[in-house]
Structure 1
């Protein structure tokens, strides 16, 4: 196996391990959320959603792009690692102090005094996470995602058990807070046990300037992205009741189980792998074409199937209190279809070291989001959700624009690589919907039978049409099997 094929194999296998880690972690969290929904009120989830943006901002400040800079750096030494570690600790403490001081303002903004203590307690997660950032970057740089799965499993399970137990005993929103704190602490402790890297006493201002010079632009763009990813929750929380925020937050968490986690898995693996070949434009284009084909092959049918199965899924798993969240989930799934394409195109800019363009694009897109939100909010929550769909479609144009310049991967080529998969996925959804109308099935039977029929239709259609993504995945599975045997 030549070096290009070896890297491709490591990248795809790494993506699989990372996706397993992501899907396991978020899968357990989602299952836990569903169980918690039997004990908690939508309002409890709404309170957590309302402070999520501030917690995410604290994490972004703590990171400040150092993890991405460490992963991308061609030549790295102990001083770089230690410099990033101490920088993250200081930034993590600073971020928490800012959260602590701003807690009264946040509570006043939402006109809910309960948020004062919640912000100050949940903010401790930022300090805890600052101890694990370099450990994760080190393992990611080595493409060692198997160990990360081993760390995730016990920490997520343990925190889930504690959260469910607390909810059953009547602790309300504090069971969600405990879940976050325990998960972060357990994962950090396990990273320090399984990974042997330890910081030295060295600190380099030169290394700090170099990494921050690259990472700072990613930090600012990431900060903007964090605020705007949560801007819908901020607006809903400000204008509507916490219960409606809870519906939105719950639906968003279900949607992200597939789309956000798979995309993050692809980004985490492809970024360090492709950074090693950042000067080979032809190879980068070939890799990215395959990545887009594989990711859309998985994400598109999952999102469309979730649109069809949303109502029986909620009816089967949740109390009637949560049924109003069904259309939220359906619209969010449609809005999330293009999310992987946005992220993959932006990854090209990071691999090429163009964090300045990355930041520029974020500013342009967020201005577009503001304009769409100003119009859509006039039509209530569902207007806001439809606005997200419109914004996702429009954002694809600037996100994919620089792929033409960087790796000569034009928009028509990209469309050719994913439109057939989208058409097959939509057709699958239509088939599932009409078969569901013909068969009188209960909720569980509907999920099982219609879900299975949709899967068979999708796989067989891809097989008959000899779709490249399915052939590539079969090839990789075969290579992995031969390697083990």
Structure 2
């Protein structure tokens, strides 16, 4: 099977995994929102950055290093497994001891116990890093679906019940812990690899030389992604932080999981042809066109229908989060292009450029946040949109130098799709306004209108992109081998 066919199958299976698990996640989040208040989500937001940093320290780039290696031995897997386990225990210890200081910073005493319990997730997740890496190397995302979907369903159902009987924020903490435990147990069932007693410092050094730069890049990304929550929680209130965190969670459930699917699949697929620049560029170009077609429409159509979706599915207490959600969706438009560009750097083994690029982008993000936070939350969100588009330039510059797929060529590939999507989304938003008497009918009509007009517009004005998408779907459905 060709790279294109393998990548397409992998993306669709991985997207199916994300769609199923995140579909459950959306449902669970909507149900939790009926029983919990914004302040509960605000508490989760406050500790999220520290849990994410602990998880990043636990992984330390070992998963990406295992995926990138052309030939992986049992010793490599064992070494990564024990390293992740030790790093997971260390991360938990740091968070356990730091909990009082974090609670003091936010002036929220409840955070001490919440952080100490929720951080156990890091230790649990350290047992699955190698399993995920092994399955990802095989592009076996179907097996990962067998682990993630039941875990999401069981943990989500449990958390809704706990929220219903007034456990408050602990319902979300229990969901996180239970999901990690069940998913890890099922991954051990679907993946046959088992650790032995091998360990090699030379293997650690080889993987860490590549992975530590990704780790520091990941730390920068986590800090700056969550810096908005930190600033909002500190400068404004737990309530406003809860609204922002809830809106961002909904956006990630709908949008970011597709981006993660792209990263999870394109990285091992492109890594398999890392020494063939011609095939690498061809695959990269096709992925850019396909993913922007899917994500641009998904993001802007969702933003256009945010008001009826929130008002139909959620209590009125969440209505103030609607503009947060819409602006965050727009800010995520360039995410697929960012993720694919970064994968090229990882495939080429340029984790040094990866880190350098993250420093540049986060410096830009920090300066814009510094300039906007004093004016209000909406100004902070507008700044996120601006930085998302600015950061496309350094992202694409480095990948273009490695492949010869320049910034202008990339813009020519995705800009027409972006324009079409924006026009169609605007049409859908205006069409919804005509149905003032029935919000549900307006949402259904606008959804159908946007999908139909979008497909026709792409067929007429972007025939190459339309044919590429159709070809990918046929490859997945027929499972034919292509040269």
Quickly name the TM-score band, shorter chain normalised: over 0.9
Closer, same or farther: CA 392–466 of 1 in aligned 2, 3 Å: closer
Aligned partners of 2:425 and 2:450 also within 8 Å: yes
User: TM-score, normalization: structure 1?
Assistant: 0.97
Residue 111 of structure 1 aligns with which residue?
Answer: 107
Counterpart CA distance in 2 for 1:483 and 1:68 is 28
Matched residue of 2:274: which SS? Answer: coil
Equivalent in 368, 388, 391 of residue 392 of structure 1: 388
Residue 159 of structure 1 aligns with which residue?
Answer: 155
**Are residues 1:445 and 2:462 paired?**
no
Q: CA deviation at 1:276?
A: 1.5
User: TM-score, normalization: structure 2?
Assistant: 0.98
Aligned partners of 2:59 and 2:84 also within 8 Å: yes
Matched residue of 1:378: which SS? Answer: coil
Gaps (5+ residues) in structure 1?
A: none
Counterpart CA distance in 1 for 2:463 and 2:432 is 27
Counterpart CA distance in 1 for 2:264 and 2:281 is 18
Aligned partners of 2:25 and 2:253 also within 8 Å: no
**Are residues 1:35 and 2:31 paired?**
yes
Matched residue of 1:278: which SS? Answer: coil
Structure 1 runs (4+) deviating above 6 angstroms are none
Counterpart CA distance in 1 for 2:51 and 2:357 is 24
Equivalent in 67, 75, 94 of residue 71 of structure 2: 75
Residue 301 of structure 2 aligns with which residue?
Answer: 305
Matched residue of 1:38: which SS? Answer: helix
Aligned partners of 1:293 and 1:468 also within 8 Å: no
Counterpart CA distance in 1 for 2:192 and 2:299 is 39
Equivalent in 198, 202, 205 of residue 198 of structure 2: 202
Counterpart CA distance in 2 for 1:372 and 1:335 is 14
Q: CA deviation at 1:252?
A: 0.7
Counterpart CA distance in 1 for 2:479 and 2:333 is 34
Residue 220 of structure 1 aligns with which residue?
Answer: 216
Aligned partners of 2:262 and 2:339 also within 8 Å: no
Counterpart CA distance in 2 for 1:332 and 1:442 is 27
Counterpart CA distance in 2 for 1:335 and 1:127 is 33
Matched residue of 1:230: which SS? Answer: helix
Matched residue of 2:391: which SS? Answer: helix
Q: CA deviation at 1:482?
A: 3.3
Equivalent in 122, 144, 163 of residue 148 of structure 1: 144
**Are residues 1:85 and 2:81 paired?**
yes
Q: CA deviation at 1:9?
A: 0.3
**Are residues 1:295 and 2:300 paired?**
no
Equivalent in 209, 212, 235 of residue 231 of structure 2: 235
**Are residues 1:435 and 2:452 paired?**
no
Counterpart CA distance in 1 for 2:437 and 2:304 is 14
Counterpart CA distance in 1 for 2:183 and 2:430 is 45
Counterpart CA distance in 2 for 1:51 and 1:30 is 21
Gaps (5+ residues) in structure 2?
A: none
Aligned partners of 2:8 and 2:476 also within 8 Å: no
Give the superposed CA RMSD.
1.2
Q: CA deviation at 1:273?
A: 1.2
Deviations 1:354-388 (A, max 9, x none): 00000001111111111101110021111110110
1:272-421 equivalence runs, <5 A: 272-421=268-417
Which deviates the most, 439-448 or 236-245?
A: 439-448
Aligned partners of 1:259 and 1:339 also within 8 Å: no
